[in-house]
Structure 1
Amino acid sequence: MTRWFRSYWAEEDTWFYVEADADGWVTRQVELQGALEKPVAAASSTEWEAAQRAGTLADYEATFGATAEVPIHEWDPHAPLDLTAGEFETVWLTARATCQARARARSTHEA
């Protein structure tokens, strides 16, 4: 069963929004940082694995970041607050758009 939750890490001033599968592996992860909750990551484990196979992992991580590499029971999220699928999806879509826009702006400046 898929689980969605968010967890705040004060030491990083970051909200982690997590979608985890039945075994506790993170399938999608969003990181919102600071008082303005600026999206700094919106990664999918499936996409990350595909980028790794394709040799484009550095580009993927520069755009979207990465997901946790261990099951959630091994990293013990700080006071997780359950979310609905819809709540997670709203945050996911907004963060993805921000990450993609930032990547486009970065490539425009590099060109």
Structure 2
Amino acid sequence: MKHWFRSYWTEEDTWFYFEVDADGWVTRQVELQGPDEKAIAAASLAEWQAAQQAGTLADYESMFGGTAEVPLQEWEGHDPHVLTLDEFEGIWLAARAACREGSRNRATRGA
């Protein structure tokens, strides 16, 4: 069974939003940073793994970032605020769109 929550990390001025499976592994992760809550990550573990297998991991990470590499129960210092699936999905969709837009803007400036 999956569950969803968010946690604010003061030292990074970042909200982390997590979808976590029953074993504590992050299946989707969103990171919103700064006072304007700029989307800096909106990654899916399944997509990350597929990109790794396809040899396109660098492209995936440059657009969407990555997910936590340890089960959440191993993390210390997070103060979770429970979310519903609908609350998480709203943040997820907005962050994905922002990451895609940011990637397009980086590609346009680099051309």
TM-score, normalization: structure 1?
A: 0.97
Structure 2 match to 1:57: 57
Return 42-51 or 100-109, whichever deviates more. Answer: 100-109
Structure 2 match to 1:95: 95
Divergent runs of 4+, >3 A: none
**2:88 counterpart letter in structure 1:** F
**Pairing 1:64-103 to 2, within 5 Å after superposition:** 64-76=64-76, 78-103=78-103
**Pairing 1:1-111 to 2, within 5 Å after superposition:** 1-76=1-76, 78-111=78-111
Q: Tell me the CA shift for residue 109 of structure 1.
A: 2.0
1:52-100 CA distance string (max 9 Å, x none): 0011111111100000001000113511000000000000000000000
Q: Tell me the CA shift for residue 108 of structure 1.
A: 1.7
Q: Distance in 1 between matches of 2:76 and 2:63?
A: 26
**2:17 counterpart letter in structure 1:** Y
Aligned pair count reads 111
Q: CA RMSD in A?
A: 0.9
Name the % identity. Answer: 67
Question: Cα gap change, 1:12/1:104 in structure 2, threshold over 3 Å: closer, same or farther?
Answer: same
